[in-house]
Structure 1
Amino acid sequence: MIQLNEKLDQITGYINEMTSEHTSTGLSVAIVKDDAIIYSKGFGLSRLQPDRRIDGDTLMSIQSISKNFAALSIMQLVEEGLISLDDPIVKHLSYFCTKDKEQSDLITIRHILSHTSGFPSDLGIANMIAPNVKEIFSDTPTEFQEALDEYKLTEEEINQIKTREDVTRWFKKVELAYPVGMGWDYCTDAYVILADLVEKVTGESWEDYLAKKILIPLNMNRTTADALAVQKDENSASYYLGDNQVETPFPINAISAPIGYLYSTANDLARYLRFHLNKDQKVLRADLVGEMQRPVHQVSEEWRFGSEVRSYGLAWFTDTYKGVKVVEHGGGQMAVRSLMTIVPGLGLGVVVLLNFDGSLHHEICDKVLDVFMGE
């Protein structure tokens, strides 16, 4: 039997080989086995000017992995008996509606968590309210307007969004793409509604709730929604796009933090995976942790990546890899890539964070799984 150190050396050798062409950008990797973090390494640079090495504590954008934290917040309120997964959203947010009020009155918390609410995927509102959105869409003089046109938005409209409640109210213009609960479409914008719900039920900001109820208990001391603090932190990443490694605008969007604008580290996310893997009830009852990981609906074709069984639970994708069940969520925007994966049958968790574009985060995760499966 291959000893643990040999397995980890195999993984390091593979990553070194795969990153040889990315010597000026970087990635961080952490691995959990059972109840221990057994691997934490950085490869390459977190910033090019001045050069800084990346490591397991480098603060990085985690993009849509943020949704898992929003979902966990909701599940804690379920455990406290303050809400039920099958409560209609309007029970807690009376101002929520879509163009079809009769249908949208049927949309439950579970529907939004599992992307089965009927919302189309291309709404755009949550990302277009980023304070640096014009910098993001600046490759040509007309790119910003083209983005507005693509999403059927106006500049005046996005400038009117000041709070999460405003985003929830904005949904009154949305036309459902399918009957509630009868399909699946990944609607990133809808997770802002969940944070609005947390705030209305608890009477505190989602960020304060997150820190108090999740981050502090799990010792995730370098996970935050504070983009300015991250940018000032000496051990934080910048992001570089394409072969020319062009630095991209920093991912910042406070209102939309629950959809993709949290910042974390490989080591902090390893602590987070350790909790989900072991269901240790530190911040949520074991049965509710399991409920998050249970498939609700098979994903649409463009999200299957060739899989016949890929599904979505409550902020987790579920799938199989070489016959073994995997539970995962990733994220990406421009030059940000993130992935966290747990393999319950192996007692294994993997985190990969990149500050450049591509699919290397998936390739590295697959290699880790192969090594621990003995392949």
Structure 2
Amino acid sequence: MTTLSRILVLTILSIILTLTSCSSNDDGATINEPTSISSATDLNVYLGELVQSHTVPGLAISIVKGNNIVYQESFGYANIQNQIAYTNESINSIASLSKTFVGAAVAKAIEQGYFTLETDINDILPIQLINPKQPEGVIKIKHLVTHTSGLLDNPEVYLAHNYHIIPGEDIATAGAGLLMDEVGIEQRETFTLEEFLANYFVEDGDLYSLDNFADTPPGSTWNYSNLATGLTGYIIETATGQSFDDYVKENILHHLQMNASTYDISEINTHEMATRYINEDTPLPVYANDSYPEGSMYTTNDDMGKYLLDMVKGIKGESTVLFSKDSYELLFAPQLAAGTVPQDFAENHGLFWYFQDGKALHGGNSFGISTHMEIDQNGNSGYVLLTNMDASFSGNIQDYIAVKEKVTTAITEFLDAIE
């Protein structure tokens, strides 16, 4: 598999994982079907066996039903080599599941009067951002939050120049070599969000290219865009005068008492993070990304349970913890004309959340990270899955798809069984 192919796999993986289901891994080993799960004890047994029998380093799950967390457990290892258990307090990054926090930040900023979904982004940005293929097009906030802005991820540039191994990490390991040699990631200091985005989207930037833009009018075509999400974070910075990570901490994390969560990697003891794995023999060094709003929330299963519970309450109009009921409604309201989102991906989009089969959901995948969160649009229940399992390289994709399918089935059986 070529380097470019692997990059493309990662870029579109969030789409693939919601489309595909599989019950066996590449080696042909079958994962047992969950059967007769009628209690938390049954679910514990099944998930414990799943982790032991498959290529899952560590796994954590929180489940909400009604207005309560009815299940919250972790399995496997945060660090296999040192036999450190994966617990509800293990810090793990959550990749693109972070985008749901960008959605919440947008809803809050709108409520505070900084902008609306109809605001032209160039009314906020300090430098005009123009799509050279659609120079008359007006890119609005609503286009960023629904992936219809025409601002694209140029795959090779996005990964090799956005992701980086943090200084002080050992780069003589097999995992570091994989990231550096196969993807082109370097070890370096982090650029500011403004520096990176200017380099990518402004004409005199080192990373600027026509490949960064689609030749389609804003709002007309759906293209999943990490960097348009990063730009959303920067727009919030510019509008509010706060760094995006501080804004999220003050307006979201603090109110939910998510005290172990942060976008700021400098606040994390990286030696105590859950190790990210390509496979059980290939741990990865700690890495970060400059466009951090779209993929670099660091959190725990305990904290994500609090977030999940509030989202379940909010989608049915029973929370005002983060903002008004109207703002929760905005967060989860369909924003696009029918047929804008590819039919096999989703039915519609809210503020980064997408909708399919009566669920509001989002996933996240990066090197050594695979996560998923979904809630019933009627607010009956929801769950979040965190793992330090890789699904970015082709040999691991089917493994994760199989695990996720079995976890979802087991959770559904558990929810159906309890009152």
Instruction: Give the TM-score category using the shorter length.
Output: 0.7 to 0.9
Alpha-carbon spacing, 1:159–1:21, altered in 2? closer, same or farther (3 Å): closer
Cα separation, partners in 2 of 1:25 and 1:123, compared to 1, 3 Å: closer
Separation in 1 of the partners of 2:42 and 2:189?
52
1:363 corresponding residue in structure 2? 406
1:220 to 1:229, Cα distance in 2 relative to 1, 3 A: same
Is contact 2:149-2:228 (8 Å) kept?
no
Rounded Cα–Cα distance in structure 1 between residues aligned with 2:189 and 2:274: 31
CA contact (8 A) 1:123 1:189 kept: no
CA distance in 2, matches of 1:123, 1:185: 13
For residues 282-322 of structure 1, the C-alpha deviation after alignment (integer angstroms, 9 at most, x for no partner) is 11222222222233345755x836xxx543321112111xx
Question: Equivalent residue for 2:378?
Answer: 345
Q: 1:72-111 residue pairs with structure 2 within 5 A?
A: 72-95=104-127, 96-100=129-133, 102-104=135-137, 106-111=138-143
Per the TM alignment, residue 33 of structure 1 is displaced from its structure 2 partner at its CA by 1.8
Alpha-carbon distance in 1 for matches of 2:413, 2:94: 24
In 2, Cα distance between the equivalents of 1:318 and 1:140?
A: 33
User: Which of 353, 357, 361 in structure 2 is aligned with 1:316?
Assistant: 353
Give distance in 2, aligned partners of 1:94 and 1:238: 38
Report the secondary structure of 2:164's partner residue: coil
Aligned to 2:344: 304
Q: Which moved more, 1:334-343 or 1:172-181?
A: 172-181
SS of 1:238's partner is coil
Q: Aligned partner of 2:226: which letter?
A: T
Distance (whole Å) between structure 2 residues aligned to residue 347 and residue 300 of structure 1: 25
- The structural deviation recorded for 1:23 is 7.8
- 1:185 maps to 2:215: no
> Unmatched 5+ residue regions in structure 1?
148-154
Query: Do the aligned partners of 1:126 and 1:192 also contact (CA within 8 Å) in 2?
Result: no
Closer, same or farther in 2 for the Cα pair 1:292/1:78, shift >3 Å?
A: same
Match of residue 272 from structure 1: 307
2:11 aligns to what? none
Instruction: Tell me the residue number matched to 2:265.
Output: 227
Q: Is the 8 A contact 1:337 1:354 kept in 2?
A: yes
Q: Across the two proteins, how many residue pairs are aligned to each other?
A: 349
Match of 1:62 in 2: 94
Say whether 1:50 aligns with 2:93: no
Residue 245 of structure 1 and its aligned partner are, at CA, apart by 3.1
1:164 to 172, 193, 208: 193
Distance 1:122 1:299 in 2: 21
Cα offsets for 1:107-126 (capped at 9, x unmatched)? 10110010011223435545
Alpha-carbon offset, residue 50 of structure 1: 1.7
Instruction: Name the SS of the counterpart of 2:135 in structure 1.
Output: helix
Q: TM-score, normalised by structure 2?
A: 0.75
CA distance in 2, matches of 1:47, 1:202: 39
Residue 333 (1) aligns with residue 370 (2): no
Name which of 323, 329, 342 aligns with 1:290. 329
Q: Any idea what the Cα deviations from partners look like across 1:61-81, whole Å, max 9, x if unmatched?
A: 100011111121111110011
Range moving further from structure 2, 11-20 or 347-356: 11-20
Q: Residues 205, 33 of structure 1: CA spacing in aligned structure 2 closer, same or farther, 3 A cutoff?
A: same
Structure 1 residues 206 and 61: CA distance shift in structure 2, 3 A: same
Contact 1:99 1:175 in 2 (8 A): yes
Structure 2: distance between partners of 1:219 and 1:196 = 24
Q: Assess if the C-alpha contact under 8 Å between 1:65 and 1:329 holds in 2.
A: yes
Match of 1:239 in 2: 276
Structure 1 residues 141 and 273: alpha-carbon distance in aligned structure 2, compared to 1, 3 A threshold: closer
| SS of residue matched to 1:339 | strand
Residues 1:117 and 2:149 aligned together:
yes
Note the residue ranges of structure 2 that are not aligned, 5 or more in a row.
Answer: 1-36, 203-208, 391-399
Contact 1:115 1:185 in 2 (8 A): yes
Structure 2 residue 316 is the aligned partner of structure 1 residue 281: no
User: Residues 370 and 200 (structure 1 numbering): CA distance in 2 closer, same or farther, change over 3 Å?
Assistant: same
Question: Following superposition of structure 1 onto structure 2, how do residues 131-210 of structure 1 map, counting pairs within 5 Å?
Answer: 131-132=164-165, 138-139=177-178, 143-144=182-183, 162-169=191-198, 170-172=200-202, 173=209, 174-210=212-248
**1:140 & 1:341 partners in 2: Cα distance?**
30
Letter in 1 for 2:285: P
Query: Which range moves more in the overlay, 159-168 or 115-124?
Result: 159-168
- What's the offset of the Cα at 1:224? 1.0
Q: Distance in 2 between matches of 1:143 and 1:55?
A: 32
Q: Secondary structure at 2:163's aligned position in 1?
A: coil
| 8 A Cα contact 1:331 1:337, kept in partner | yes
1:217 is matched with 255
Partners in 2 of 1:347 and 1:177 — Cα distance?
41
Measured on the aligned residues, the alpha-carbon RMSD in Å equals 3.0
Distance in 2 between the 1:27 and 1:203 partners? 37
